[in-house]
Chains A and B, each alone.
Chain A
Amino acid sequence: MDFSTQAIPRIDPRRPWVLGPSGLKRIVLGDDSGSRDAALLAHGPAHKPLRSSGPFSQRLLVVAHAERGQLDDAAREAIAAAAILAGKDGEVLALLYGMQDAAPEALAELAVDRALTVADPGYAPEQKLALLQQLLQQESPHTVLFADRSEDADLGRRLACRARLSVVTDVVEIAADGVRRRQPGAGFSLRERAQVLLLARGVAEAKLPFVGKGERLQTAALPAISEQVQDLGSAASPASQLALEEADLIVSAGNGVSNVPGFLALAEALGAAVGASRVAVDDGRFSRDKQVGATGKTVQASAYIALGISGAVQHLQGIKSCRHVIAVNLDAAAPMIKRADLSIIDDCQSFISAFEALVRRERNLV
């Protein structure tokens, strides 16, 4: 039956649905694509108010490194924490590495009032420290916040030790009575709020209902100080050589993948680490160290592409901390489809060859 010819427009009850937070299926009205892309549903870019127009009598400094011009969630949370803590008369000052191309609106959207953006020189702790100390002297923020992971964590610790500032790491909660950090084996420990705070994930809700002023400080170059340690450059190690536990992108094969060479070619083209389900390992198609799951390896990839894996409980346990799961399977009722963020109902063999061809074309590998 053709719905469009009907006098009264009807909603197809079998349309793709959305699972609401309460676990109920919902069909979003006026959305006929079935896609629940957040951007499609929002009422356009909402106009958010300015957090505070000043004048500011005190300030907090957030230091963050961007990756490919983007701040990750941890860094956004650090800025959000500063913005929430700042109060009416407090200013959010940010020192951002690798965001020299960011538009003022983008900075405002992050809730930053004033930002110093510097090109990221790579490994240059002495120069970064000198700049940071210079900034501390000029602006004298009462608190410096870092996300407690990778480059930011490193710089934060260096700053605290060099400038002999009080510091609390692994902060999980900032409250009126002080800050709480996770203490190994002993729950939380309560500390006085220190000058340098290194924040664990989840300290603040990164989504903010306001924007900052988004001004940019005069862009400063890093001071020319010689480094004790020389940076000889960095490289992403080939995913195929990465330990599965460390890999950020994994393609994983299950029973539905019969063409192993084709599968491996896809993994290579995509630059993804190779995983496998227990069935595929038991069959001898893959070595035991590739096995993902409760009896194999627990992985933490940002993206996990499961090809022809039905998704036994043990396998799902092994991928529970993967951020994006993409499933390709012929059986739409497989448990893996329920877990996946994007599911493709297709034959693995034809999908693999199509996907590999596409990736090769897009990467100009041919």
Chain B
Amino acid sequence: MKIAVLIAPAVHPVSGRPCAGEADLAALALAQRLSSQVDVWYAGAADDAALADYLARGATHIHTLALAAGREVLSPLAEALQDYALVLCGARAGGGDGSGLLPYQLAEQLGRALLPDVLDLSKSDQQWQALQALPKGVRRTLAAKLPLVASVHARAASAVGWSYARLQQGKIQRKAATGAALPQVVLEPARRARALVAASKVSGHARMQGAIAGGEGKSAGIVVKQGDSVEKAQVVLDYLRQHQLVDF
């Protein structure tokens, strides 16, 4: 079965250089585990060097829909991907907008079901089963029929290690494409974001009280020295229950 994997360069958080996105790599690795026919797709304005990491980490061939910067990639991608029964992409790209919207838009555009945050995919009978990652280690099993779009969790699978030889052998094939212009965004340097705070009419004394005693993480820890081990164990359990850290 042919699987399409969508990738996009991520922006390195420290240097700002293009690199591979974790979730996209996981999608690539998961696809390669599922099928030997994996087509890797990219749409956008990035140059070949920005995609190099994917070649070095196991994509032998990348189909690129070359678009000018600031163009929407959805319609050219949807057109290119409609013949694939299974389309995988990272849950979130680490670059571009990194909004995590593309899998949803793509599923909507292609009229397919979306399996979000997938950790694993497997075929059983006529259906495909997906293991969805939920917070705190909860796993949900979903089942659906093809065709599907799945957004892959960064921890789903690990791609092969970065290899210079694979980078040299990898190919990038470019095809010109067009998309509608996106609205310009205004970029600003990062700073501390200002939170919305409700105007308070509480007295100064009460606010002071709150600042001293209330608030999580502001106060120093409680130290328990008295009592035997059994009593101390009870203290810990009470603490865990009070903060809903255990469910018994």
Contacts and interface: CB of A to CB of B under 8 A. Distances in A.
The answer to whether A and B touch in the complex, with CB atoms under 8 Å apart, is yes
Interface of A: 16-21, 26, 28, 34-36, 38, 41-43, 46, 49, 68, 70, 80-81, 83-85, 122-123, 149-151, 153-154, 157-158, 160-162, 167, 169-170, 172-175, 180-191, 202-205, 208-210, 228-237, 239, 242-243, 246-249, 270-271, 302-303, 305, 323-328, 332, 337-347, 350-351, 353-355, 357-359, 362-363
Interface of B: 10-13, 16, 93-101, 104-105, 107-108, 113-117, 127, 129, 132, 134-145, 155, 185-191, 193-202, 206, 209, 211-225, 228-230, 232-237, 239-240, 243-248
Nearest to B140: A234
Which has the most chain A C-beta neighbours within 10 Å: B96, B97, B105, B198? B198
Given A150-B135, A187-B189, A354-B232, A229 B196 contact: no
A243 B224 CA distance: 31
Contacts of B198: 80, 83-84, 205, 208-210
Nearest to B17: A185
A184 B221 CA distance: 36
Given A249-B246, A302-B245, A350-B229, A185 B223 contact: no
A341 B142 contact: no
A202 B193 contact: yes
A149 B117 CA distance: 12
A154 B189 contact: no
The 10 closest A-B pairs by CB, nearest first: A185-B11, A234-B140, A187-B190, A19-B220, A228-B113, A354-B229, A204-B196, A355-B233, A232-B141, A41-B213
Nearest to B127: A230
Nearest to B129: A232
Contacts of B141: 231-234
A228 to B, nearest CB: 4
Contact of B222 (A36, A170, A234, A247): A36
Contacts of B237: 355, 358-359, 362
A169 B193 contact: no
25 contacts: A18-B212, A154-B117, A161-B107, A161-B108, A172-B193, A173-B193, A185-B11, A185-B12, A188-B189, A205-B197, A229-B115, A229-B142, A233-B140, A234-B141, A243-B155, A246-B155, A248-B135, A271-B246, A326-B236, A338-B220, A341-B222, A346-B229, A351-B233, A355-B236, A359-B248
A210 B10 CA distance: 42
Contacts of A188: 187-191, 193
B188 A187 contact: yes
B222 A70 contact: no
A231 B200 contact: no
B193 A203 contact: yes
Contacts of B191: 187-188
